[in-house]
Amino acid sequence: MTEANTVFLVGAGPGDPDLLTMKAHRLLQEAEVVVYDRLVSAEILALIPTGATLISVGKQPRNHPIPQPEINQLLVRLAKAGRNVVRLKGGDPYVFGRGSEEAMTLVENGVPFEVVPGITSASACSAAVGMPLTHRGLATGVRYLTGHCQEDSELDFDWQGLTDPSTTLVIYMGMANVAQITAKLIENGADPALPAAAINNGSTPEQRHIVSTLKDLAGDAKAAAFEGPVLFVVGQVVALHAILGLAPDVEQNNEQPNTAVGG
Ligand SMILES: C[S@@+](CC[C@H](N)C(=O)[O-])C[C@H]1O[C@@H](n2cnc3c(N)ncnc32)[C@H](O)[C@@H]1O
| Over residues 147-176, mean pLDDT | 90
Note if 1 is an active site residue. Answer: no
Note if 175 is an active site residue. Answer: no
| Over residues 151-160, mean pLDDT | 83
DSSP string, 3-38: PPPPEEEEE-BSS-GGGS-HHHHHHHHH-SEEEE-T
Q: From CA 174, how far away is CA 239, in angstroms rounded?
A: 21
Percentage, residues of the chain above pLDDT 90 = 85
Q: What confidence tier does 75 reach under pLDDT thresholds 50, 70, 90?
A: very high
Cα Rg of the chain (Å, integer): 19
| Model pLDDT for residues 91-149, shown as the tens digit of each residue | 999 999 999 999 999 999 999 999 999 999 999 999 999 999 999 999 999 999 999 87
Instruction: Provide the pLDDT for residue 148.
Output: 85
Q: From CA 66, how far away is CA 102, in angstroms rounded?
A: 14
Burial 22-51 (b: 16+ CB within 10 A, else e): eebeebbeebebbbbbebbbeebbeebeee
Closest to 182 (Cα-Cα) out of 207, 210, 218, 150:
218
The residue type at 241: H
Residue 4 CA to ligand 1 centre (angstroms): 31
CA–chain centroid gap for 192, Å, is 25
**Lowest mean pLDDT across 72-86, 103-117, 234-248:** 234-248
Note if 173 is an active site residue. Answer: yes
**Sign of the C-alpha dihedral computed for residues 30, 33, 39 and 43 taken in this order:** positive
- Spans of all domains in the chain: 7-116, 121-262
Ligand 1 binding pocket includes 96 (Cβ within 6 Å): yes
Q: From CA 7, how far away is CA 112, in angstroms rounded?
A: 6
Q: Do the domains at 7-116 and 121-262 have one common CATH topology?
A: no
**pLDDT at 248 exceeding the cut of 60:** no
Ligand 1 binding pocket includes 194 (Cβ within 6 Å): no
pTM for the model: 0.91
Ligand 1 binding pocket includes 120 (Cβ within 6 Å): yes
Atom of ligand 1 nearest to the CA of 94: 6
Q: What is the CATH number of domain 7-116?
A: 3.40.1010.10
Q: From CA 225, how far away is CA 51, in angstroms rounded?
A: 39
Fold type of domain 121-262: 3.30.950
